[in-house]
Structure 1
């Protein structure tokens, strides 16, 4: 069975579960054979005349990587090294730093550090470039090679050189690896409000979230005033888990649709269960690190008017990848479809626009820190249904609600302004009130 995957990056120390399946060879027509003849001509010339001997495995791997690199940023060949990395992520018992990274023009770029990990505590930020590991330049290598070097035995030390935009000198950091156990869902209660921090969409996410809701109600001895669903920095994961999480807060209606190459290749998923939050107010927190499966949840709850989406525009990855196993330790990660929210919009390139744009002003460098999204990736898929908002006049006035500095907020004990604002928003709505729609909005039939 093919299980779709919705994920942005490779993670150092915490990877999402990726199931595999057997793939089938696509049919090759006559014109394709002519192109393959040209490939074989180049292959034989290189084998015969290159200045140094090159083994077949190196040439074939390079050809495969080049072929997939011509498609989109999320299609790739999973060789034995990457396959072993996926097995490590499934086990969850290994040393790492807690980083989600990607490769950009031969350089390793940080997408986001995971909360309460060595990378997070060292102050590594989204947009940073890792140029050296233990004094050795890693530019030009593969992402899997860099990930493997950053992993290691818990307790072992590693030195990183970090280049950050706007900073003249690179940062020299020494970190100690830890066993990274990324809990899919963390929960807490503040001011009578339940907070569900969903970090990834792994196989246990939906069940962990339901357990979190039960634990919140048990701690309070009843219903909370509402829930904050924190999807910030969540790079995605499994499609079925995103659907199940969305379903938990919707009583009926479409959750998401998936459309492949052919017009007839459409799948739709609908809510089946009752609203687990029983109509209580919901606020969904998003930022530039909210991607793919996370955007499905935010988009579904936003389209049904079941939740207020608060924060910053999300990453904008609206494509689905399927992992096709080719051999015992090799696979093909291939983009096979695009997904659409219940209203029929694609988040590809554009992302989810929050209902309430709220910057993270508790971060001292939030204005200068570079933001990295799908639209910044080379060869990203184009959103063919994108709406042109160029005619809309931009409001350049400073919002007085967000004029405080990070230092002023810290004096007030506010370390996370977006979360603080979300809690205040639910507090203003009040426990008896329901968000608009209350999980009853319709989008299609079951």
Structure 2
């Protein structure tokens, strides 16, 4: 999951040193402490290089030191080289050979955040909250995130077998699939009973333009009279910040969309909507779940705070941090968490997520009660919402509304395969004017 600002030109300033006199004794004391810590590092480095059972080259030791330093910060800061650098670039472009999974590492285990729709993993039945224990029979426990991802990626058409442990199931599952060229169709749309349905799977590339085109096409397909819109952000792992801002802008007439705030009090950058609501003020329902993360949470938070949309589903993932990517060499880059983002009302999404206005469980998923989902707050060393805020203040209530007591098989008999979408569509019908509902009733799905 990467809320990435693409700052890729090399920063030569990182290699420049300027010596200035210490202004105060406190600066001198700080320098002394720094030198002592560096001496400690060099002592360990020299001891390992001289006495480790096998010879270790300098590159391996330095890379390991960098990885250790960044992994002590938060789950999203990392340093990548060679093939990992290529993977970073292709992920932001939404085009790579693999399975279509967003994963994380916790205590050495590979956890599935969410599968991307219409990808090999999604079709094979991988679900959010699954643990991947083996890849092609090889134990993957203890691998780094980049190592695990590289094993899952590969040439399109090549087979791969994942061994899955799913909470609530007694035995592991072996799922076999073929890798594919993952060219995510970021935006899909159709008309359902006079309602425009827009499914946004990721925020890479030109997602904002595709979303705006979908709004125009829906307007044309309904003769300019849609009842409203469902924007589906479920299992959307996020992506580019500017795309999230532009998608939010398409539904707003004005006001702040999001702000990102760095370490210093005055390090604040705000993004605003421009006049022009392409949805014409019609009712909007945004669907979210535990796989809704990062850039997609920016959209949900902005529309919720402006009371422009009704947020429905389950609490979102809670990734409210911004990663800046800096190319440090021809095939290396530093991905560093540099800011937290806040919704227009000043809420930090970090570790807390977006709570839906109406909590709707996915009743058509037979495992939804037993399957444990993974959110940002479950990741080790996750950032707090803001400095000096305790995690317990960010905990939400995931208890399903007791009104939702139907069983998956009962809904299947009624032909309902996606209960959350079914509930969203019915809600919009109730919000629409009776006359509009009557005029739209004969319409069939157009795409």
With the length of structure 1 as denominator, give the TM-score of the two structures: 0.88
Report Cα offsets for 1:191-226 as digits up to 9, x if no partner: 110011111111201001011112212222223110
Report Cα offsets for 1:349-372 as digits up to 9, x if no partner: 211111111111111111101011
Count of aligned pairs between the two proteins? 420
Q: Identify the residue that residue 2 of structure 2 maps to in structure 1.
A: 7
* Pick aligned residue for 1:289 from 283, 288, 291: 291
CA gap of 1:88–1:410, structure 2 versus 1, over 3 A, is: same
For the pair 1:428 / 2:430, whether they are aligned, the reply is: yes
Q: Identify the residue that residue 247 of structure 1 maps to in structure 2.
A: 249
* Pick aligned residue for 1:130 from 129, 132, 142: 132
Q: CA deviation at 1:106?
A: 1.8
Q: Is the 8 A contact 1:100 1:111 kept in 2?
A: yes
For the pair 1:161 / 2:163, whether they are aligned, the reply is: yes
Q: How does 1:3-402 map to 2 (within 5 A)?
A: 7=2, 20-23=8-11, 24-25=13-14, 29-89=31-91, 94-384=96-386, 399-400=402-403, 402=404
Give the SS at the match of 1:88: helix
Distance 2:97 2:36 in 1: 48
Report Cα offsets for 1:219-246 as digits up to 9, x if no partner: 2222311011111111111111111111
Distance 1:203 1:394 in 2: 34
Distance 1:316 1:394 in 2: 14
Flag structure 1 segments of 5+ consecutive residues without an equivalent: 1-5, 9-15, 435-446
Give the SS at the match of 1:21: coil
* Higher alpha-carbon deviation: 80-89 or 354-363: 80-89
Distance 2:350 2:344 in 1: 15
Give the SS at the match of 2:239: strand
Distance 2:215 2:128 in 1: 30
Q: Is the 8 A contact 1:17 1:203 kept in 2?
A: no
Distance 1:271 1:430 in 2: 26
* Higher alpha-carbon deviation: 130-139 or 380-389: 380-389
Distance 1:264 1:65 in 2: 30
Aligned-pair RMSD on alpha carbons?
Answer: 2.6
Give the SS at the match of 2:14: coil
Q: CA deviation at 1:168?
A: 2.5
Task: Please state which structure has a larger fraction of its residues in helix.
Answer: 2
Q: CA deviation at 1:250?
A: 0.8
Give the SS at the match of 2:382: coil
Q: Is the 8 A contact 2:93 2:205 kept in 1?
A: no
Q: CA deviation at 1:288?
A: 0.7
Q: CA deviation at 1:91?
A: 6.2
Q: CA deviation at 1:132?
A: 1.4
Q: CA deviation at 1:62?
A: 0.9
Q: Is the 8 A contact 2:92 2:204 kept in 1?
A: no
Q: Is the 8 A contact 2:216 2:278 kept in 1?
A: no
Q: CA deviation at 1:90?
A: 5.6
Give the SS at the match of 1:155: coil
Q: CA deviation at 1:324?
A: 1.1
CA gap of 1:346–1:205, structure 2 versus 1, over 3 A, is: same
Flag structure 2 segments of 5+ consecutive residues without an equivalent: 18-29, 437-447
Give the SS at the match of 1:180: strand
Distance 2:280 2:95 in 1: 37
* Higher alpha-carbon deviation: 324-333 or 149-158: 149-158
CA gap of 1:40–1:51, structure 2 versus 1, over 3 A, is: same
With the length of structure 2 as denominator, give the TM-score of the two structures: 0.88
Q: CA deviation at 1:176?
A: 1.7
Distance 1:399 1:140 in 2: 40
* Higher alpha-carbon deviation: 188-197 or 98-107: 98-107
CA gap of 1:87–1:292, structure 2 versus 1, over 3 A, is: closer
Give the SS at the match of 2:337: strand
Q: Identify the residue that residue 443 of structure 1 maps to in structure 2.
A: none
Distance 1:321 1:396 in 2: 32
Q: CA deviation at 1:39?
A: 0.6
Give the SS at the match of 1:22: coil
Give the SS at the match of 1:278: coil
